[in-house]
Structure 1
Amino acid sequence: MERHEEHPEPAARPAEWSMAVRATLHCLTGCAIGEVLGMVIGTALGWATLPTVLLAIALAFVFGYALTLYAVTRAGLGLGAAIGVALAADTVSIAVMEAVDNGVLLLVPGAMEAHLDEGLFWAALAFALAVAFVVTTPVNRWLIGRGRGHAVIHRHH
């Protein structure tokens, strides 16, 4: 009878807040580029709220993943492996950031009806991204402490 030894995973330990902040800033950069671009396109074209939000979310994922792909392929990782790293590193962070960001935007009275030349449009977008940053940072800290999220990127840098 074959005997298998179990190798317990190392105990999760809290990640440094500075690492979590850097990971969240990385996520925020991609999300903000995509989010702003999506909101600007949807608003400029006079789209309804739902297609505008869906475009903003899609572009946030595209730009978020693109920033990671750029970094890890520059570090020498092949494209296939880089895609896997980007998906593992960024999916949860971007999803949380987008859920919070768009949830806040939908709660700010008049934000989704505001035009590009109105301060409410830009103030609401900046406020929503700031709230998303605050909420996503502890999520990234938790992920990194368990060897997930941006910890995956650091194995390849």
Structure 2
Amino acid sequence: MTAHVGHDARDASWGTAVTATLHCLTGCAIGEVLGMVLATALGLTDLSSIVLSVVLAFVFGYSLTMLPVLRDGVPLRRAVGVALAADTVSIAVMELVDNGFVLAVPGALDSTLADALFWGSLVLSLVVAFVVTVPVNRALIARGRGHAVVHAHHGH
């Protein structure tokens, strides 16, 4: 999913899948952490907190893919399509897993920014989501999807 990794689009190795998932994790983590921090600080409901975090994870995830594609001269409309094709499944899996994990941790959504439970459950949820999403990305790459879509726009 990153535009600047030097792998062939058909390279469905574990290393490529890990790199693609780290890229996805970066966008998801920024959105997830920002969303949870904002929601907690604003006293939003659990559902609002999760919705805000998921929306921001997609926004940041897509943005991290689109920026290098746009720098390579791809028009905005096409860059949006590339980001959607490259990242939607990966971000969706990551968000399902990390939010499911946080929901399963008793008290995590009720904790405050000063609680170790807030930060610990959030970090651990992202680690678990990463581990689950790596094989998903590997399968996508092997089929010319996900991370491979970005490479098609960079002459890799």
Normalized against structure 2, the TM-score is what?
Answer: 0.91
For residue 59 of structure 2, what is the amino acid of its counterpart? V
Q: Which has the larger radius of gyration?
A: 1
Secondary structure in 1 aligned to 2:61? Answer: helix
| Distance in 2 between residues matched to 1:14 and 1:152, nearest whole Å | 12
1:14 positional shift: 7.4
| Distance in 2 between residues matched to 1:78 and 1:22, nearest whole Å | 25
- Does residue 106 of structure 2 align to residue 106 of structure 1? no
1:109 positional shift: 1.1
Name which of 49, 64, 68 aligns with 2:65. Answer: 68
Equivalent residue number for residue 96 of structure 1: 93
Name which of 83, 108, 111 aligns with 1:86. Answer: 83
Equivalent residue number for residue 154 of structure 1: 151
| Distance in 2 between residues matched to 1:106 and 1:122, nearest whole Å | 14
Unaligned runs of 5+ residues in structure 1 are: 1-12
| Distance in 2 between residues matched to 1:60 and 1:80, nearest whole Å | 20
| Distance in 1 between residues matched to 2:60 and 2:21, nearest whole Å | 14
| Distance in 1 between residues matched to 2:44 and 2:129, nearest whole Å | 24
| Distance in 2 between residues matched to 1:114 and 1:50, nearest whole Å | 15
Equivalent residue number for residue 121 of structure 1: 118
| Distance in 2 between residues matched to 1:131 and 1:14, nearest whole Å | 24
Equivalent residue number for residue 13 of structure 2: 16
| Distance in 2 between residues matched to 1:88 and 1:23, nearest whole Å | 13
Any runs of at least 4 consecutive aligned residues in structure 1 with deviations exceeding 3 A, and if so which? none
* Higher RCO, Cα 8 Å, sep 6+: 2
Normalized against structure 1, the TM-score is what?
Answer: 0.90
Change (3 A) 1:120 1:62: same
| Distance in 1 between residues matched to 2:63 and 2:93, nearest whole Å | 18
Equivalent residue number for residue 25 of structure 2: 28
Q: Number of residue pairs matched?
A: 145
1:65 positional shift: 0.4
1:44-84 CA deviation, whole Å, 9 max, x = no partner?
Answer: 01111000000000000000000011011112211111011
